[in-house]
Structure 1
Amino acid sequence: MPTAARLVAAICLAIVAFIVSGMVMPLMPESTDFGYFVPLNIIIGLLAGWIVMGRRVGRGTTAAINNGLTGVFVMMLWGIGVQACNEMVRLAMKNRYDNAMEAIVAIFQIGAEFGQMIATVPIGLFLLVGAVVSGLVTEYAGNRWR
């Protein structure tokens, strides 16, 4: 059911995804073609906010902070997973893998590599602050507009 809290959570995580995408792009190799990288991450942020954070509102301040942390964690997990799948498909189209199992295993390897690339202090601090702010703003929206 659509609520103001779900909408606010989706918007908050979309903003966090947009900013983090801008922080991640300089960390990638120079020859990287980003294509739909930013819009796809914004959509993932919208979905994570709507699905994960939006339904867990109204439980207090501590739960709101935990809700924000959970939402950002899920957003990053989905984002890395989707981008790793995209990279695997790109490599599979160049006949890099011998069979389907090798390609599936490569998703996890690529995702781990992407996770290591973006595991920097500025990104981590921004995700932490963005999670807390998103959780508190979503909680406020849930209490304000019932």
Structure 2
Amino acid sequence: MPDAAKLVAGIGLGLLAFVVSGMIMPLFEEGTNFGWFTQVNVLVGILTGWFVVGGRAGRGIVSAVNVGLTGPVVMVFWALFIQSCNEMVRIAMKNRYDGAFEALVAVFEIGAEWALLMTTIPVWATLLAGGVVVGLLTEYAWRTWR
């Protein structure tokens, strides 16, 4: 059921995904074509905020902080998975894999490589601090606009 807490959480994590996507892009090789990178990450952030963070609103401040820390981690997991699948398909279209299993394994290899690439203190500090702010704003929205 839509409510203000889910809306605030979705907008908050979507905005956080936008900011962090901008922080991650310079970490890749120069000349990388990002295509729909930011838009897909923002959509993943909105959906994660709506379902994960917004769905757990109304349980108190401690729970809001905990969910605020969990939300960005879930968002990063799904964004990495979706972006890795997209990259695997792009590489597969060039006939670089010998079979389906090799392509499936490549999804996890690409995801692990990109996870290491984005593992910097500024990126994770932004994710976790932003997540706590989104969690607290979601709790406030739940208490204010039931």
- What range describes the TM-score normalised by the shorter chain of this pair? over 0.9
The answer on 1:50 being equivalent to 2:46 is no
Indicate the residue corresponding to 1:97 in structure 2: 97
- Overall identity of the aligned pairs, in %: 56
Indicate the residue corresponding to 2:2 in structure 1: 2
Aligned-partner Cα distance in 2 for 1:25–1:70: 23
Task: Kindly state the Cα deviation for residue 69 of structure 1 after the two structures are TM-superposed.
Answer: 1.1
1:24-103 counterparts in 2 under 5 A?
Answer: 24-103=24-103
Aligned-partner Cα distance in 2 for 1:44–1:128: 16
Indicate the residue corresponding to 1:11 in structure 2: 11
Q: Secondary structure at the match of 1:77?
A: helix
Indicate the residue corresponding to 2:122 in structure 1: 122
Aligned-partner Cα distance in 1 for 2:17–2:75: 8
Any unmatched runs of 5+ in structure 2?
A: none
Q: Secondary structure at the match of 1:55?
A: helix
Runs of 4+ residues over 6 Å off in structure 1: none
Q: TM-score, normalised by structure 1?
A: 0.99
Task: Kindly state the Cα deviation for residue 101 of structure 1 after the two structures are TM-superposed.
Answer: 0.5
Any unmatched runs of 5+ in structure 1?
A: none
RMSD: 0.6
Aligned-partner Cα distance in 2 for 1:101–1:136: 43
Q: TM-score, normalised by structure 2?
A: 0.99
Count of equivalent residues: 146
